[in-house]
A and B are shown apart, each in its own frame.
Chain A
Amino acid sequence: KNEVEQSPQNLTAQEGEFITINCSYSVGISALHWLQQHPGGGIVSLFMLSSGKKKHGRLIATINIQEKHSSLHITASHPRDSAVYICAVGGSNYKLTFGKGTLLTVNP
């Protein structure tokens, strides 16, 4: 069993829909990261969370430390949101353990 599990693996949505991607982990962590990877490989760090909730534009990330679960929400989704979203967990450095990612496709 992977230490970081993401669901769903693939997600297709229509433009404007509210999207949720889930992440569960089985190890103790200092923080959880949500990352975005576009075709071609480049990774952008979206959020780093150790508790509660963070919001940036249309993106919202929440974490429940007791339940070892995090969600990434995208409101009013847009085709440019199409990417792979990766959850990663780590200790006090960036020796991160990554999930396999969720491939999001937003159709116009």
Chain B
Amino acid sequence: DTGVSQNPRHKITKRGQNVTFRCDPISEHNRLYWYRQTLGQGPEFLTYFQNEAQLEKSRLLSDRFSAERPKGSFSTLEIQRTEQGDSAMYLCASSFTYSDGAFFGQGTRLTVV
């Protein structure tokens, strides 16, 4: 296991299209987090899973955003009807326990044109 893997690394899409990103956490990690980072800003929390349960969602996660983590393994983040304001880096992180620290993926950079 080489760490948290995110795919794709880059995605360019036309406004109005739907996109889906995937995050594969470190295999024994039961906690998975999604963050969004816009240019020049620090990341912002989007949502958090413990196993397959989505325990918390940020107000940033509008109705166009949905995240799933079936079977408590990989997670997907879907954005429907993309808007230019959705252009950002989407980061995934996983952890086993809080005190063990979190491991971040390389991120998926979304550009909406």
Please indicate whether A and B come from the same complex rather than being unrelated chains: yes
User: Chain A: which residue is nearest B37 at the CB level?
Assistant: A41
Complexed CA–CA distance, A43 and B35 (Å): 12
* Contact assessment for B101 and A45 in the assembled complex, using a CB-CB cutoff below 8 Å: yes
User: From residue 72 to 108 of chain A, which have CB atoms closer than 8 A to chain B?
Assistant: 86, 88, 92-101
* Contact assessment for A99 and B89 in the assembled complex, using a CB-CB cutoff below 8 Å: no
Across-interface contacts of B89 in A (CB, < 8 A): 41
* Contact assessment for A4 and B42 in the assembled complex, using a CB-CB cutoff below 8 Å: yes
User: From residue 45 to 87 of chain A, which have CB atoms closer than 8 A to chain B?
Assistant: 45, 48, 86
Q: Please tell me the number of chain B residues within 8 Å of chain A, measured between CB atoms.
A: 26
Complexed CA–CA distance, A92 and B56 (Å): 13
User: From residue 14 to 51 of chain A, which have CB atoms closer than 8 A to chain B?
Assistant: 30-31, 35, 40-45, 48
Complexed CA–CA distance, A22 and B41 (Å): 17
Across-interface contacts of A45 in B (CB, < 8 A): 101-104
B71 smallest CB distance to A (angstroms) = 21
* Contact assessment for A93 and B43 in the assembled complex, using a CB-CB cutoff below 8 Å: no
* Contact assessment for B48 and A42 in the assembled complex, using a CB-CB cutoff below 8 Å: no
21 A-B contact pairs sorted by A residue (CB < 8 Å): A31-B98, A35-B104, A41-B91, A41-B109, A42-B106, A43-B91, A43-B93, A43-B104, A44-B104, A48-B99, A48-B101, A88-B42, A92-B98, A93-B31, A94-B102, A95-B33, A95-B45, A95-B48, A97-B45, A98-B42, A100-B42
13 more A-B residue pairs beyond the given contacts A48-B101, A86-B43, A95-B56, with a C-beta to C-beta distance below 8 A: A41-B37, A41-B109, A42-B107, A43-B43, A43-B93, A43-B107, A45-B101, A48-B99, A93-B31, A94-B102, A95-B45, A95-B48, A100-B41
Identify the A interface with B (CB < 8 A): 4, 30-31, 35, 40-45, 48, 86, 88, 92-101
